């Protein structure tokens, strides 16, 4: 069984806290309600935390994604101070938000597989 490092535990807790905070505490009406925090990676010196988010329920339009990331970047200071109250750390990492493309890529791959299977079936029937 793999032992979790301190950084893993911090990243895990930050992911849970941020998910709740983004849903409940950011009051920007432009922010999509279906933003999920898919992962957090904390640097070894706790200087930065890369926060990966997905925008569910919307078509993956680049302008929607960029607008949501911009809103999150504006709220980063607020979120960081709130995390400082929730997680007892001497240093609270700066938050950097990134769009996690893995969900979108997974859907594309799944669609390609379905197309290939359908084409195979069609060939076998012919």
Q: Per-residue confidence at 72, pLDDT binned at 50, 70, 90? A: very high
Name the token pair of 46: 């706790």
CATH of domain 6-101: 3.30.300.20
* Domain residue spans of the chain: 6-101
The pTM score is 0.78
How confident is the model over 28-42, as pLDDT tens digits? 887 766 888 999 999
Name the token pair of 78: 């607020």
Q: What is the CA radius of gyration of the chain?
A: 19
Q: Do you know the residue count of the chain?
A: 126
Q: Give which of 58, 39, 62, 40 is closest to 49, Cα–Cα.
A: 40
- On the CB side of 30, CA atoms within 13 Å amount to 12
What is the DSSP secondary structure assignment for residue 33, as one 8-state letter? T
Query: Residue 9 above 60 pLDDT?
Result: yes
């Amino acid at each position: 069984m793999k032992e979790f490092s301190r950084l893993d535990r911090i990243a895990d807790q930050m992911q849970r806290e941020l998910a709740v905070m983004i849903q409940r505490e950011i009051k920007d009406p432009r922010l999509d309600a279906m933003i999920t925090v898919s992962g957090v990676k904390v640097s070894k010196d706790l200087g930065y935390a890369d926060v990966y988010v997905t925008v569910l329920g919307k078509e993956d339009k680049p302008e929607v994604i960029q607008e949501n990331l911009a809103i999150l970047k504006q709220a980063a200071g607020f979120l960081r101070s709130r995390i400082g109250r929730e997680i007892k750390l001497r240093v609270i990492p700066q938050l950097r938000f990134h769009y996690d493309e893995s969900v979108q890529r997974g859907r594309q791959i799944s669609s390609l597989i379905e197309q290939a299977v359908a084409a195979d079936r069609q060939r076998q029937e012919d």
